[in-house]
Amino acid sequence: MKPAIGLEIHVQLNTKSKLFCSCSTEVFGVAPNSRTCPVCNGDPGVLPVTNKAAVERLIQMGLALNCTIAERSIFARKNYFYPDLPKNYQISQYEEPLAGKGRLDYYSGGRVNQARIHRVHLEEDAGKLLHAIGSQTLDCTLVDFNRAGIPLAETVTEPDFLTSAQASDFLVTLRATLRALGASNCDMEKGEMRVDVNVSVSADEKTLGTKVEIKNLNSFKSVRDALEYEITRQREAVARGEKIVQETRLWDVKKAQTVLMRTKEGASDYRYFAEPDLPAICVDEAWISELKKNLPPLPTQKMEQYQNQLGLGPNEAQALVFHEDAEVARLFDETVKLAGANGNAVGKIAANWILNDLLGQLKTRGLTVAKSGMSASRLAGFIKLTEEGGLTSRLAKDLLNKMLDDPALEAAAAFKESGVQLLSGDDALLPLIKKAIQANPKAVSEYKAGKEKAIQSLIGFVMRETRGQAHPQKLQELLKKELTP
Amino acid sequence: MDSILDLSAVQTAGKVKAGQLRPLEILDAYYGRIEKLEPKIKAYLLLLKDRAYGRAREMEARLKSGRPLGRLAGVAVAVKDNMVLEDYPTTCGSKILEGYVSTYTATALERLENEDALILGKTNLDEFAMGSSTENSAFGPSRNPWDTSRVPGGSSGGSAAAVAARMACAALGSETGGSVRQPASFCGVVGLKPTYGRVSRYGLVAFGSSLDQIGPLARTAEDAALIFDVISGHDPKDSTSLVPSKIQHPSSSTQHLSGIKVGLPKEYFSVEGADPEVFRVTEEAVKVLAAGGAKIEEVSLPHSRFALPTYYIVAPSEASANLARFDGVRYGLRAGGQAGSLLGLYKASRTQGLGHEVQRRILIGTFALSHGYYDAYYGRAQQARALIARDFEEVFKNVDFVVSPTAPTAAFKLGEKTQDPVSMYLSDIFTIPVNLAGIAGASVCCGFSKDNLPLGLQIVGPAGRDEDVLGLAAHWERLTRGQYIQIPQGVKNG
């Protein structure tokens, strides 16, 4: 039975102020209800005024997702009662959203797939209910309206995904796209990206089964797990001859299963109607082309650039462009820029250091790029030093660790501090080289017979003897000279 | 009768600025009058005495130091209690806002005070401006100064009664469907429903957002024009407020009656259930206009007959969303005890806090917007609304103004229509098409019924021509030598 998966993604748009008032959107870690005003509190008599920046972010998003941008778009009131919703209606878009049909290429399983976008619309966020403060359960519920009125973009896809991996890979591409645009930070921990999924299974290739919605998934892992669980649940139910009921479910992380939230009968009638307090948003060609002109390079373009101009392999490029930590790609771009003009080599080298060493270290240390203090200038300094100084990878790794231990330490200082003196003089190296030749007659004869690689065991011998402190290039140079009759 | 109370707003401001009249004297006169008449009229829900005296003293200090005063210097105004004033309660005539204190000030009130008007207090209204008599106020009805057994009209009845009884020099009311003009007609004062978008709605507690508009009530057309001039103008806080360049038909500054064309909509003059006396008085008034040089023409507004049913879909639908925020959670009345659950809290708070008419309209609106009914009700009402507006546009290609009675009857008795909502709704049959079309309409007293109750002449103009509408009302007052600008007999001597 074939599954069909559709996604609804809410992201917080990057704006200084809220969607309909001038309150700050910096709400993470601030006191409850300290970022509110009569407008976002929904006090009697207030009126909304649309934040142009939010509209522009959404149009840019629409352009990046190849959507049709509506010349005329309207807001609507979505009516439902809930204590986190100050007006008991949400200003959203229903008919005539800002961005209509589009498509996004995404990378999945080493291939480029395409998903169709149904629409992208603009709406305001609600507040947050607090049932406990820390571990202390409250005997009442408190409401924090700091989030109320923060601009959100809701992206709705067509049911174009066949597996949980495809859905998750699409989300990875979408996240990287929105970050590249500067449209959203998509930090799921801060609630800046929230995902609902629709999933159905069908025995018949041509028709879709009855869809079940799973709401409020707040990590990509939850998306995958919930989809896996739900696909299996539905397949088993159908196999037993049961009918799938249209309903909304929630993902219980602890139990690792989806649980019923409400059936279709229990669904709200939102009584949408055009928001009378706001005029239509009219977007003309000039505005669109202005925004188009300012679009930064998007992930697909970056993938090409990394591969064609910097010589990275597809896997390396993908790992950088779509990394969960948005700073990774930024660190890479800036490091390449700073580390020198000889593009290709530096690109490949920087990618290696970041992907193979730095990220591993950060993971062990439980750090993000931003928190590690590893700036592009420090990393570029490190790369220059290791390349020009010809450090062995062992030494270089130690150096990188030192720099991570002390975020104030530049590469040069770290190297100096390590006290390492590379042996590069003939006097120091030649005796060791002779010793190596004596001790490895097999390698010597192989090399002389034309097997160039055999020289590695001779280099290894000297390195062991010097505990890695021989200058690798100089060593190789001298060795070759000695072996050449 | 104190002579201060006889001064119009224009005269008052002139005298105050010239140093011939002190703001404190004005307050003494008006609060004295209010003290005497309020038990009879019940126009006010809240007096802002301390605040007004504080501002008056500050104005006197300014005057002494030679600094200029604003265009409404010392004009004592009353404002309908659905406009917010920071740090003071706003009740909207409802129990559900019990204990609520406003967190900011409405743009219209800010503009009044920027020009040194003195706000005396906040006036009574039908709950959330839903009604035509003030009988839907949770705090009891106001009385008509012409006959205290009768209603002052509504929903801005408190404001109209206060102006008619000289308990305020002028007032602000608000309209969604006739709520300024009908009480102006019932109380014998001038009232303007401005073109939609000319006065900021910021701080006016919303009823029907696409219809709501704040308007002045005053003794003379000239006073109404002055107040309108002060409160109108683009407000960046209200996205539906018009920028001057977007006003369709800006008013012409000169107003000569000769040569202007006045249309009489034939459909309005054959409405059933209207008092024949009302038509007779209106026709007399039209004759006076004609004698003054106006050309009178019959015109047709065929879709206006759909105005009432259209209005009673559109306004309640918008109200059902606008009033959803009154839920007992954040402010106002919260039902205790029996609530038990969230839904229980909502139900109990709204059942206790909202009156019958408000509940009726919320239910009508909720139903009209419901899935499966939207197209048949709200969708069709929007279509009808467009046709009603188009009728006016067509008519205004040929005439400058449309005139009709303001209301189908003079003020009715308290309790006369409370059991029959539809007959109450009919009270706004001539005024509601103007709200639906979003154009300008005024009411000016044009005669009296056999019971000596005032009757209003409605003057309607194209969108943006509010000044011209009041200009014609002022012409009417000049033509009739102000004979209909009267103080009700019953309150003449307090």
Residue A410 shares a structural domain with residue A466: no
Helices and strands in chain A, H and E counts? 18, 15
Residue A270 shares a structural domain with residue A316: no
Active site (annotated) includes residue B423: no
Q: Which residue of A has its CA nearest to B324?
A: A88
Residue A351 shares a structural domain with residue A381: yes
Distance CA A482, CA A307 (A): 39
Instruction: Select the residue of A49, A79, A83 nearest B239 (Cβ to Cβ).
Output: A49
Higher pLDDT, A415 or A94: A94
The confidence band for B357, taking pLDDT boundaries of 50, 70 and 90, is very high
Peptide bond connecting B155 to the previous residue in cis, omega within 30 degrees of 0: yes
Residue A361 shares a structural domain with residue A433: no
Distance CA B366, CA B405 (A): 33
B265 CB burial (10 A radius; 0-12, 13-18, 19+)? buried
pLDDT tens for residues B223-265?
Answer: 999 999 999 999 999 999 999 887 777 777 555 677 899 999 9
Average pLDDT over residues A469-477: 79
Closest CA to A70 of A217, A285, A244: A285
Element (H, E) at A431: helix A426-439
Classify the phi-psi angles of B440: left when phi > 0, otherwise alpha if psi is within -120 to 50, otherwise beta: beta
Give Rg (Cα) of chain B: 21
Average pLDDT over residues B174-182: 98
Q: Helix, strand or coil for residue A423?
A: strand
Residue A241 maps to a domain: yes
The confidence band for B1, taking pLDDT boundaries of 50, 70 and 90, is very low
Is pLDDT above 60 for A91? yes
Residue A156 shares a structural domain with residue A59: yes
CATH number for the domain spanning B482: value is 3.90.1300.10
Residue A58 shares a structural domain with residue A171: yes
Q: Which residue of B has its CA nearest to A276?
A: B210
Residue found under tokens 């290709």: A344
Helices and strands in chain B, H and E counts? 16, 11
B72, B23 Cβ separation under 8 angstroms: no
Average pLDDT over residues B119-139: 98
Residue A339 shares a structural domain with residue A245: no
Which ipTM score applies to this complex? 0.96
CA A342 to each of CA A338, A346, A350, A358, B479: distance values in angstroms, whole numbers, following the listed order: 11, 6, 12, 22, 92
The range of the structural domain enclosing residue B250 comes to 3-260+462-491
Q: Helix, strand or coil for residue B418?
A: coil
- Residue A342: its pLDDT value, please? 52
Test A279 with B240 for CB contact under 8 angstroms. yes
Residue B134 maps to a domain: yes
Tell me which DSSP letter residue A355 carries: I
Distance from CA of B450 to the nearest CA of A (A): 41
CA A176 to each of CA A79, A303, A446, B191: distance values in angstroms, whole numbers, following the listed order: 33, 11, 50, 59
B152 alpha-carbon distance from chain centroid: 12
Specify the pairing of strand A212-217 against strand A257-263: unpaired
Report the domain count for chain A.
3
Catalytic residue, from B8, B156, B179, B317: name it. Answer: B179
Q: Residue B11 is which amino acid? A: Q
B154, B25 Cβ separation under 8 angstroms: no
Residue found under tokens 């869809």: A211
Residue B41 maps to a domain: yes
Q: Residue A117 is which amino acid? A: I
Residue B478 maps to a domain: yes
Residue A291 maps to a domain: no
Residue A404 shares a structural domain with residue A470: no
Test B369 with A271 for CB contact under 8 angstroms. yes
The range of the structural domain enclosing residue A88 comes to 2-286
pLDDT tens for residues A104-148?
Answer: 999 988 889 999 999 999 999 999 999 988 888 888 889 999 999
B335, B345 Cβ separation under 8 angstroms: yes
Distance from CA of A144 to the nearest CA of B (A): 11
Test A38 with B210 for CB contact under 8 angstroms. no
Distance from CA of A277 to the nearest CA of B (A): 6
- Residue A445: its pLDDT value, please? 86
A210 alpha-carbon distance from chain centroid: 32
A112, A106 Cβ separation under 8 angstroms: yes
Residue A292 maps to a domain: no
Distance CA B64, CA A439 (A): 110
For A163, other C-beta atoms within 10 Å of its C-beta total 16
Distance CA A177, CA B158 (A): 59
B48, B115 Cβ separation under 8 angstroms: no
Distance CA B153, CA B165 (A): 14
Test B239 with A47 for CB contact under 8 angstroms. yes
State the number of CA atoms in the 13 A half-sphere of A282 facing the CB: 2
Active site (annotated) includes residue B15: no
Tokens at A367, concatenated: 């750090």
- Residue B494: its pLDDT value, please? 58
Distance CA B139, CA B46 (A): 11
A174, A226 Cβ separation under 8 angstroms: no
pLDDT tens for residues A314-373?
Answer: 999 999 999 988 899 999 999 998 887 554 578 888 999 999 999 999 999 999 999 998
- Residue B120: its pLDDT value, please? 98
Residue found under tokens 């047709």: B300
Residue B318 maps to a domain: no
Higher pLDDT, A407 or A165: A165
- Residue A442: its pLDDT value, please? 87
Closest CA to B399 of B265, B221, B304, B233: B265
Residue found under tokens 């009879």: B40
Element (H, E) at A193: strand A193-202
State the number of CA atoms in the 13 A half-sphere of B71 facing the CB: 10
CATH number for the domain spanning A449: value is 1.10.10.410
For A412, other C-beta atoms within 10 Å of its C-beta total 13
Residue A225 shares a structural domain with residue A366: no
- Residue B337: its pLDDT value, please? 62
Specify the pairing of strand A257-263 against strand A247-252: antiparallel
For A446, other C-beta atoms within 10 Å of its C-beta total 16
Residue A28 shares a structural domain with residue A149: yes
| Chain A residues in contact with B202 (beta carbon < 8 A) | 45-47
Residue B189 maps to a domain: yes
Q: Helix, strand or coil for residue A200?
A: strand
pLDDT tens for residues A208-243?
Answer: 999 999 998 989 999 999 999 999 999 999 999 999
Q: Please state which of the ranges A362-366, A416-420, B106-110 shows the lowest mean pLDDT.
A: A416-420
pLDDT tens for residues B7-65?
Answer: 999 999 999 999 999 999 999 999 999 999 999 999 999 999 999 999 999 999 999 99
Instruction: Select the residue of A43, A44, A269 nearest B371 (Cβ to Cβ).
Output: A269
Sign of torsion over alpha carbons A232, A235, A239, A241: positive
Residue A54 shares a structural domain with residue A165: yes
Report the domain count for chain B.
1
Give one DSSP letter per residue of B240-304, joined into a string: TSPPGGG-SSPPPS---STT-EEEEETTGGG-TT--HHHHHHHHHHHHHHHHTTPEEEEE--GGG
- Residue A474: its pLDDT value, please? 80
Q: Which residue of A has its CA nearest to B345?
A: A83
B4, B29 Cβ separation under 8 angstroms: yes
Q: Which residues pair with B217 in a beta bridge?
A: B171, B191
Residue B47 maps to a domain: yes
Sign of torsion over alpha carbons A156, A157, A161, A166: negative
Give Rg (Cα) of chain A: 29
Alpha helices in B369-455 (DSSP H): 380-395, 421-425, 432-437
Q: Please state which of the ranges B35-49, B121-135, B307-321, B327-341 shows the lowest mean pLDDT.
A: B327-341
**Per-window interface: A 254-273 vs B, CB < 8 A:** 269, 271-273
Closest CA to B217 of B285, B158, B135: B158
Q: Helix, strand or coil for residue B382?
A: helix
Residue A363 maps to a domain: yes
Distance from CA of A101 to the nearest CA of B (A): 25
Closest CA to B258 of B65, B472, B108: B472
Test B83 with A278 for CB contact under 8 angstroms. no
Active site (annotated) includes residue B156: no
Residue A196 shares a structural domain with residue A329: no
The confidence band for A306, taking pLDDT boundaries of 50, 70 and 90, is very high
B151, B157 Cβ separation under 8 angstroms: yes
Q: Which of A286, A306, A335 is the last residue of a domain?
A: A286
B305, B429 Cβ separation under 8 angstroms: no
Distance from CA of B319 to the nearest CA of A (A): 11
Q: Which of A402, A418, A434 is the last residue of a domain?
A: A418
Tokens at A381, concatenated: 């300094």
Q: Which residues pair with A297 in a beta bridge?
A: none
Residues 6+ apart with CB under 8 A from A135: none
Element (H, E) at A286: helix A285-293
Q: Helix, strand or coil for residue A94?
A: coil
Is pLDDT above 90 for A402? no
Residue B283 maps to a domain: no
Test B84 with A42 for CB contact under 8 angstroms. no
Q: Which residue of B has its CA nearest to A51?
A: B239
Q: Please state which of the ranges A319-333, A408-422, B46-60, B157-171 shows the lowest mean pLDDT.
A: A408-422
Residue A342 maps to a domain: yes
Q: What is the mean pLDDT of chain B?
A: 95
B256 CB burial (10 A radius; 0-12, 13-18, 19+)? exposed
Highest mean pLDDT among A251-255, A388-392, A394-398, B198-202: B198-202
Residues 6+ apart with CB under 8 A from A388: none
Residue B332 maps to a domain: no
- Residue A345: its pLDDT value, please? 74
pLDDT tens for residues B264-297?
Answer: 999 999 998 899 999 999 999 999 999 999 999 9
